[in-house]
Amino acid sequence: MEVVFLNRLSKQNEHGDESFAQVWIGEHEGIWSAGWSTHHGTDESTDDLWYEGSLWQELLHVYRHELALKMAEGYRPLIHGVFHEKERTAGRGQTLQKLYCYSDLFPRDDVYEQLTMWRRQKAVAERKAPYFIATNRLLRLISVFLPHTKEELLELPGMGQGKVSQYGKELLTITTQSDRTTPFPLDWVAEKLEEEAFLSWIYKQKENQYRQELDKFSLTKMILEGISDGLSLEHIGMKADLQRKEMIEAMEQLDRDGIDMEELIRRELADVSEEEQAAIWSAYEELGDTLLKPVMLQVYGEEKAAETGLDQVYERLRLVRIRYRHQEASDLQVG
């Protein structure tokens, strides 16, 4: 095997003792491999093979995810740039990251639970998705830093003037009920937060990001292999451990990413008449493709849809919508 990348890493424990490891990428006759070696002494090491296969992109996803896990544990590289990307943010970006980090490391779960209950009630009353009211991250910031005035609320990222005007009074009713031990403005956060704790938090965020990217890559690969093998949507879903609805959601995302799903759509709609498919297409042209219910009512009506089965009807609508949106995107590119 030819080693094409090698880096040494070290980690210190609470007693100041240092341990060492190596991360490596190699290639032999078109087969890529990546792994981790932990050194236990002068000549002893434990090897952990992370990946072995022919796909460089797959290797890269696995490598980044596994390495982020190690760096979240405290390992630091001898040579920086192990993710082949910009490692650190600076300026205001880093200041915001440190606020998020501090709120994760020093949570106030009691206040956070009160805020999530408030958000849930508000979402029901306003008929909005909860994240439109406030994201989990914003509620975590509010629960930890406990602003007592509208001006202090505005110091938190994601809390603009509109949200303060709309929800500020109710939020302050919750936060002012709790004693706080830290002041505003929040300049002190950057000084109080230990650098190693911040770095480990950063790499934990990377690990989450790379895990999602790896899961998406693996699912894409599985779907494309299933299409190539002539498998049905149900059989691909069984291999991926996903329900049919989740599989169609994955197909919609893949089509948005530019991967043609037509062959699988054609197989899944083989038992749906051309007239029915044309009626669905025409309804999209007339009503738009954002909402499915108006299309369902125009094509089927409530009674016929119920007889056919609502799940089956909506599945057909979504499959045809993937094809419709793909065609719309192609027409725009040609135009």
Q: What per-residue confidence (pLDDT) applies to 147?
A: 96
pLDDT tops 70 at residue 41: no
pLDDT tops 80 at residue 247: yes
**pLDDT band for position 81 (cuts 50, 70, 90):** low
pLDDT tops 90 at residue 320: yes
Mean pLDDT estimate for the chain: 90
Q: What per-residue confidence (pLDDT) applies to 1?
A: 79
Q: What per-residue confidence (pLDDT) applies to 92?
A: 67
pTM score: 0.72
What's the fold here for domain 92-189?
DNA polymerase; domain 1 (1.10.150)
Instruction: Please list, residue by residue across 128-153, b when 16 or more beta carbons sit within 10 angstroms of its beta carbon and e when fewer do.
Output: eeeeebbeebbbbbbbbbbbeeeebb
Please state the rounded mean pLDDT for residues 315-322: 95
Cα separation, 159 vs 109, in Å, equals 20
Q: Count of CB atoms within 10 A of residue 265's CB?
A: 20
Q: What per-residue confidence (pLDDT) applies to 208?
A: 92
Does residue 149 contact residue 180 with C-beta atoms inside 8 Å? no
Distance of CA 316 to the CA centre of its chain: 27
- Cα end-to-end span (Å), the chain: 50
**Which DSSP category does 127 fall into?**
T
Task: Please tell me which residue, 89 or 231, carries the higher pLDDT value.
Answer: 231
Please state the rounded mean pLDDT for residues 152-174: 94
Q: What per-residue confidence (pLDDT) applies to 332?
A: 65
Domain boundaries defined on the chain: 2-77, 92-189, 194-268, 269-335
Element (H, E) at 247: helix 244-256
Instruction: Please list, residue by residue across 96-108, b when 16 or more beta carbons sit within 10 angstroms of its beta carbon and e when fewer do.
Output: ebbbebbbeeeeb
Q: What per-residue confidence (pLDDT) applies to 231?
A: 92
Looking up tokens 């530019």 gives 258
pLDDT tops 90 at residue 104: yes
Cα separation, 241 vs 234, in Å, equals 10
Per-residue pLDDT reduced to its tens digit, 254-296: 998 888 899 999 999 999 999 999 999 999 999 999 999 999 9
**pLDDT band for position 16 (cuts 50, 70, 90):** confident
Q: What per-residue confidence (pLDDT) applies to 86?
A: 53
Please count the residues of the chain. Answer: 335
Nearest to 37 by CA among 87, 3, 61: 3
Q: What per-residue confidence (pLDDT) applies to 78?
A: 82
What string of H, E and C letters represents the secondary structure of 16-85? CCEEEEEEEEEEECCEEEEEEEEECCCCCEEEEEEEEECCHHHHHHHHHHHHHHHHHCCCEECCCCCCCC
Per-residue pLDDT reduced to its tens digit, 174-225: 999 998 999 999 999 998 999 889 999 999 999 999 999 999 999 999 999 9
- Concatenating the DSSP letter of every residue in 251-293 gives HHHHHHTT---HHHHHHHTTTS-HHHHHHHHHHHHHH-SS-HH
Question: Which range has the worst mean pLDDT, 75-84, 121-130, 288-297?
Answer: 75-84
Cα separation, 218 vs 57, in Å, equals 11
Cα separation, 99 vs 144, in Å, equals 10
